[in-house]
Amino acid sequence: MIDQYLKNWLIKAHRDFRAAENELGIESEDILTDVICFHSQQAAEKF
């Protein structure tokens, strides 16, 4: 039970990290820095 709970948090953290990474791949004038910061912070908390 706890193993699955932790696994789910790690999956969510990885998804937040990927969202930030995807946003970083966008051309510079269209980057949403607040979205990158939000997802990075969320990933750090979950990890």
Task: State both tokens at 12.
Answer: 């969510």
In this structure, what DSSP letter does residue 32 have? -
Q: What is the CA radius of gyration of the chain?
A: 13
Residues in CB range of 33: below 8 A, 6 or more apart? none
Q: What's the number of domains the chain is made of?
A: 1
The Cα–Cα gap between 28 and 6 comes to 35
Supply the range of the domain harboring residue 25. 2-46
Left (φ > 0), alpha (ψ -120 to 50) or beta: where does 29 sit? alpha
pLDDT tens sequence across 1-47: 789 999 999 999 999 999 999 999 998 888 999 999 999 999 999 99
pLDDT at 19: 97
